[in-house]
Structure 1
């Protein structure tokens, strides 16, 4: 396997690890509760884990996943060109299939689906893939900075977040969701899931420009700089820049409760830190390649959906919703990922692509 492609697949597997560590909370707490900051952690262990997840995981790995989606779009474009096929036709069918699966995922399995968002935002790449690298890069920067600039303009003076929600109110929201997800019938679960799915989609509107920015940066790297992933010097610079600038801002954001700082941490420092992760990961992979992550990454579509299916089974099917504390959900997320690591390694030792990837490929290459 091409070393460049191998490390990209491994990065996708790494992204899925970070995604499940963040997403597991949404299977245990009400969407309304998390939207308002979440239930307070009890005990030093739970508090420490929540702080570490906030600093190192939240909002970083979904950006990495988005970046790799844009990079993958360029590979599809190149493949279509080499085969003399229509990229537009292939890409549109690929996106349409992704949207259908995403809607099904969000409606019937877990309301926090990102695939339908990817499909809708991904259509923009169809208009830009043939543009020059400089144009793509310019649009990427504009899109990435759009929301933080707007927030800085409206909140330029900065102020502490004065919105406080009583714990009793959060508990009430949690109990309402538990009545459906943990104790309710399938139809009651379904009604709650659909309501949460609509709320999740509306919330994600704020993050669409950032997702598009990551798509476009991935497309740019694919078009101009594919070799950077195996370039030791470049990865060192990226690691130092990303970790050196992004990480301190994330730490400061956790220490100080300041709305303006939160905006900077979420929309500026998070992508910077994400690229720091890319640099560190690629450097580590040179000396310690974890082949299992390659298998997980090559089955990225399958594994993303399997994470939701497995967690939904545990928290909704076996009524664990609201019953777990932070350290327990963290252990569950790691356990599920280890299971994925193992079955992906076995499956990819026998087949070239994952099961859903094979179906997806047959659809857009038809």
Structure 2
């Protein structure tokens, strides 16, 4: 979630943000609508296993990491323009915290306020050497993930994202294809082993509160960063294929409006609940169906909106509150067409 000007954007980060949003809603909707625990040996139980092997803790991890990358890009670009990047960042995370505080009234597990607090804690580390930030971030990640302390993981992930920004890992990704390929292969092997182990620990989902279920969740938290790293590497690698990148273009626009789409995911879920009285009435596969409908709405809306406007609706408000000035929202016809077909 980093509403910078289009000409300065790193497309790969937008694709990753959009990808992360696709996974986050699959988990959030389960708690927001209190989906029923599946019975053993049913299609619903298979989907439950899929969620906790491939989704839970994977996409939130990516989103947290990307916030750290955006953290670095925002301050460094502001400083390069002769502005006080740290001061602007403080104002920026205050606005984010305000969004999060409002969002938490409807979604207690929301992430924005957590990111704002983490950003405040990590801000003093911005000026440290990249090697030091990488080391501290890796140690914190190892400790928090091993202990299964999910609520502290964003601190480590955001710091690692900051270090990734310092290393400029996402600039000129095309020329780093060989390194990216090796990274993806290594994390594919690690992911395969990690998921195999977690799968062998799968309990009966209806045994809420059991020691087996607790350990299954704990293992998921431990291996989450490994699986997330593989997802990131794989997506960056397939984006090197022109036809794939073109087919995934809607994902880029989805990610460019990450703040708007993240908050409106909750809005759409709650609207559906108020209209159809869904709370506690759905199984997991039915929540997937709702998510697919929301995907279509948001992906189409994002593409249409960004054809005519520079920023998403809430991104524009966020930017205005950060810089204390009203940025131009509409884009000129020629620029609009060029950006849309880019």
Range of TM-score over shorter length: 0.7 to 0.9
Structure 2 unmatched ranges of 5 or more: 1-5, 204-211, 325-342
The alpha carbon displacement at 1:248 in A equals 2.8
TM-score by length of 2: 0.83
Work out whether 1:266 is the aligned partner of 2:221.
yes
Displacement of 1:3 after TM fit? 10
Residue 261 of structure 1: how far off its partner (Å): 6.5
Matched, 1:278 2:223: no
Q: SS at 1:59's partner residue?
A: coil
User: Which residue is 2:329 aligned to?
Assistant: none
1:59 to 34, 57, 60: 57
Alignment gaps of 5+ in structure 1: 31-37, 152-205
2:191·2:227 contact (CA, 8 Å) conserved in 1?
yes
Query: 2:184 maps to what in 1?
Result: 239
Q: In structure 2, which of residues 159, 162, 165 is the aligned counterpart of residue 216 of structure 1?
A: 159
| 2:133 corresponds to 1:136 | yes
Describe the superposition over 1:104-128 as per-residue Cα deviations: whole angstroms up to 9, x where unpaired: 1111x22221111111111122111
Q: What is the CA RMSD across the aligned residues, in angstroms?
A: 2.1
Alignment partner of 1:338 is 2:282: no
Contact 1:242 1:274 (C-alpha < 8 Å) held by counterparts: no
Does the CA contact (< 8 Å) of 2:130 and 2:166 recur in 1? yes
Q: Which residue of 2 aligns with 1:361?
A: 319
Distance 1:82 1:88 in 2: 12
Counterpart residue number, 2:196: 251
CA distance in 1, matches of 2:192, 2:54: 8
SS at 2:10's partner residue?
Answer: helix
Q: Distance in 2 between the 1:282 and 1:209 partners?
A: 27
Of 98, 103, 106, 2:104 maps to 106
Q: Relative to 1, partners in 2 of residues 1:133 and 1:86: Cα closer, same or farther, differing over 3 Å?
A: same
Out of 257-266 and 269-278, give the one that drifted further. 257-266
User: In 1, Cα distance between the equivalents of 2:107 and 2:297?
Assistant: 20
User: What does residue 20 of structure 1 align with?
Assistant: 25
Q: Aligned residue pairs: how many? A: 303
**TM-score normalised by L of structure 1:** 0.78
Structure 1's consecutive aligned runs of 4 or more residues displaced over 6 angstroms after TM superposition are: 1-4
- Listed one character per residue, the Cα deviations across residues 245-297 of structure 1 (whole Å, up to 9, x for unaligned) are 12332232132255666534312x11011010011111112220111111100
Deviations 1:64-101 (A, max 9, x none): 00011000011101221121111121011111111111
